[in-house]
Chains A and B, each alone.
Chain A
Amino acid sequence: DGGITQSPKYLFRKEGQNVTLSCEQNLNHDAMYWYRQDPGQGLRLIYYSQIVNDFQKGDIAEGYSVSREKKESFPLTVTSAQKNPTAFYLCASSIDPRDGEQFFGPGTRLTVL
């Protein structure tokens, strides 16, 4: 099956710990994205990558970091510098940045205790 996978579905961490969220796609898409969703709100862009070894900050990049060493993988690290990390995190991909249509993964719910 082709698609985007995110793991784990639920993640719990203690305050002050860094945590890495996984995002993998086998759609051969060039572009990948990370969004954050808070209850009752829309999706806010954290980081995006248009091609391997390149990524750009989105609207709320502070306290987050990413890497794009492989086309199919775009992990997101939530660092201890992120003041309010508890949220639902969504990864997406598109064929290329000029296409527009994005496909979303199932999401990871991160809870920081």
Chain B
Amino acid sequence: GENVEQHPSTLSVQEGDSAVIKCTYSDSASNYFPWYKQELGKGPQLIIDIRSNVGEKKDQRIAVTLNKTAKHFSLHITETQPEDSAVYFCAAGDTGRRALTFGSGTRLQVQP
């Protein structure tokens, strides 16, 4: 089955700096790669996703890149703000087969 590894487990940045979180996956059949943000005591919320037919996707301060050859994808947050502080999860899946496989999460702390 799919295995997703996520790094780092914790990340502390100063407000205004950029943050990068990286994930690798094992199943070459995976074709859907979402990123979720989870605030304390709440369910995860989708912030951005990418499908295997594109290499990069941006949405304001958030971007995701995908390298299918190397089987890794990354989340980039620019101009970080204190409200970006949360746990971020990457996931990988093969749409049409079953549910997603999640990474172990990254706790991002943005220092004001």
Contact = CB atoms under 8 A, between A and B. Distances in A.
Contact of B42 (A33, A43, A106): A106
A44 B101 CA distance: 7
Given A100-B49, A100-B93, A45 B99 contact: yes
B43 A106 contact: yes
Given A100-B95, A101-B34, A90 B43 contact: yes
Contacts, number: 66
Q: Give the interface size bracket for B toward A.
A: 20 to 34
Interface of A: 4, 6, 33, 35, 40-45, 48, 56, 58-59, 90, 92, 97-107, 109
Interface of B: 1, 4, 6, 9, 32, 34, 36, 41-46, 49, 51, 89, 93, 95-105
